[in-house]
Structure 1
Amino acid sequence: MAETNYFAKTKIVVPFDFSDFSAGAVETACKIASRNEQVTVLHVIDPAQLHGFDDNGGYELAGELGNSLANIEGANEIDEANRKKALQAMQDLFEKSDCVGVHFAAVVDAPTIGIVEFASQNGVELIVMPSHGRTGIKRLLIGSVAEHVVRSAHCPVLVLR
């Protein structure tokens, strides 16, 4: 009896934050996919942190943009530069791994929204992600990205421990 891979033709996205946990999720996705080309590794750059906002959404005057709203016009250039850096860093990280051939993407958005919208707009059929993230009080107040993705995604989400 031939073994059938349920995920043989499934488009998979793996949110990636450069942690060991998310690297493990990429490896898991490559193992369950028939071909690495079906896997997209997605880094979502949080604009709140990128532009000097803290985790609670409050503006930090010491942030990258400083306290001048005039610098807001440069936000697109900052976003694009960081997006390109993230893409290059992911390509460098995975170029000699068992996951050669995966696709890479980077977007600037709130983590949950970035993941869910990317998956929806690109016909993704499975999201594979680790369950790690905020813990303790921050998780209770803000919630985990994995939990929000599970609740918001149009497709199945495999959450790894």
Structure 2
Amino acid sequence: MQRLLVLVCLVAMLAACGFRPRASLAVATDLGPVQVQSADPYSPLAQGLSTALSRAGATSAVDGQPSSTLKVVSEALSTRPLALDDRAQVREYETRYAVKFELLDAAGAVQVPLQEVVLTREFTYDSIASAGSPAEQELVQRELRRDMQAAILRRLDAVLRAK
């Protein structure tokens, strides 16, 4: 009985503070077909953005059909040392992912002006278990790409809703 009361109180506090799970994004219906252009056509980000836009309700552009264009102008992934141990060996790294993008409509007019989104993640490096560190770095980079896709979609959604 006491556990049930505690659970009800926790749920009530969550509701009172305004917490709610984030809903999936839906792009503006007047956006029309969208194609993603990137300097690197095989970029995991560009491919992921195409998939994410489809999931959000955008239709994929067909060749020859006028469409909006999400241009990934640049993307830069860098890793730098963040902290050293007492023997001056790197213990923590920071991975930084910066992407510049813009959205143009079918006529070429700017819908979302050039913007930059920067995400960072920190991870520790264990010199004793160094075999796992490249795998951890790859995992951090995959998570950054996934989070970048979501951040770009949220930015597009916010700007298009404001218009």
Answer whether TM exceeds 0.5 for this pair. Answer: no
TM range (shorter): under 0.3
* Greater gyration radius: 2
Relative to the length of structure 1, the TM-score reads: 0.28
Q: Which has the higher strand share?
A: 2
- Greater relative contact order (Cα < 8 A, sep 6+): 1
Q: Which has the higher helix share?
A: 1
